[in-house]
Amino acid sequence: MAKILVADDEELIRKLIGDCLTKNGHTVLEAQDGEEAIKIFEAEPDIELAMLDIMMPEVDGWQVCRKIRETSGIPVMLVSARSQDFDQIMGFESGADDYVTKPFSLAVLSRRVETLLQRGAVQIPKKEKTDDEDIVIKNLLLKKGAHEVYLDGKVVDLTQKEFKLLYKLCKSPGRVYSRDKLLDQIWGADYVGDIRTVDSHVARIRTKLGEWGNKNIVTVYGTGYKVNKN
């Protein structure tokens, strides 16, 4: 039978799923948050399926799924109380194979697990990151080809320069970009305006993104800006 990773910050949910899977002959490894889930996954190379809650502390289920997909094609099932279309779309775009909403039937959940296990792992092709990739950070989605930004599934209206600036920061979360570098890459080396135009654009982006912008777009004083990784 299979070794299955179950990650959920609710102990009762972990126990219900764990007991069900154990009765079916599987070995269950439990994680109480996303950070622990990643550590267990990296330490146990023979895990055959991961079941992840979305809203976990430290690292959410979307991020765990994307981390798994960097190296593995094992089936991933997201199990969440979030039932909006956007949440499910985010799940599948993160690389999930199935999405189950709470509350759920243990009998149906068990059957879906067996179906995923029968399918088994798939080969994950290596690919280079391109400038045309969509980006997902937490509940923010940037669609490069369409120049569209979605926050919790709702469109955020950004100008072309604002989109390019946000995309540049989000493409490499945690990396600090100087104002000079952003000005050269977004406005072009021939731009002769005030360097503070970067600040004004960042301020407008923060306003349009509300709490997300204020929390995740960080000013590195004396240098420039970055977007938080988590």
Per-domain residue ranges for the chain?
A: 3-119, 135-227
The secondary element (H helix, E strand) that includes residue 6 is strand 3-7
- Average of per-residue pLDDT values in the chain: 89
CB 62 within 8 A of CB 229: no
Q: Give residue-wise pLDDT tens across range 2-53.
A: 999 999 999 999 999 999 999 999 999 999 999 999 999 999 989 999 999 9
Of 27-36, 137-146, 196-205, minimum mean pLDDT range: 137-146
CATH code of the domain made up of 135-227: 1.10.10.10
Distance CA 28, CA 206 (A): 42
**What CA–CA distance (Å, rounded) separates 167 from 162?**
8
The alpha carbon torsion through 127, 63, 65, 123 (nearest 10 deg) reads 10
Question: Which secondary-structure segment (H or E) carries 215?
Answer: helix 211-216
Residue owning tokens 């609710």: 10
221 burial via Cβ count (<10 Å: 0-12, 13-18, 19+):
exposed
Lowest mean per-residue pLDDT among 69-73, 119-123, 153-157: 119-123
Amino acid in the structure at residue 64: V
pLDDT at 124: 60
Assigned token pair, 39: 């550590």
Q: What distance in Å separates the CA atoms of residue 185 and residue 164, rounded to the nearest whole number?
A: 9
Alpha carbon 206 to its chain's center: 20
Write down the pTM of the prediction. 0.61
pLDDT score of 169: 94
Class of domain 3-119: alpha beta
The pLDDT score that the predictor gives to residue 139 is 86
- With beta carbons less than 8 A apart as the criterion, state whether 78 and 52 touch: yes
* Residue 59 banded pLDDT, cuts 50, 70, 90: confident
pLDDT tens, 78-137?
A: 998 887 877 788 888 888 999 999 889 999 999 999 999 998 877 665 554 445 578 888
- Cα–Cα distances (Å) from 96 to 74, 75, 90, 148, 203, in that order, read 10, 7, 9, 23, 34
Give, in degrees to the nearest 5, the angle at Cα 91 between 87 and 94.
135
Query: Which residue has 């100008």 as its token pair?
Result: 159
Q: Could you tell me the maximum CA-CA distance found in the chain, to the nearest angstrom? A: 69
Q: Per the structure block, which two tokens stand in for 227?
A: 């977007």
Report the sign of the C-alpha dihedral through residues 214, 9, 6, 100, in that order.
negative
Q: Which of 56-65, 130-139, 187-196 has the lowest mean pLDDT?
A: 130-139
How far is Cα 170 from Cα 162, in angstroms, rounded to an integer?
12
Helix (H, G, I), strand (E, B) or coil at 78: strand
Backbone angles phi, psi at 136, to 5 degrees: -125, 120
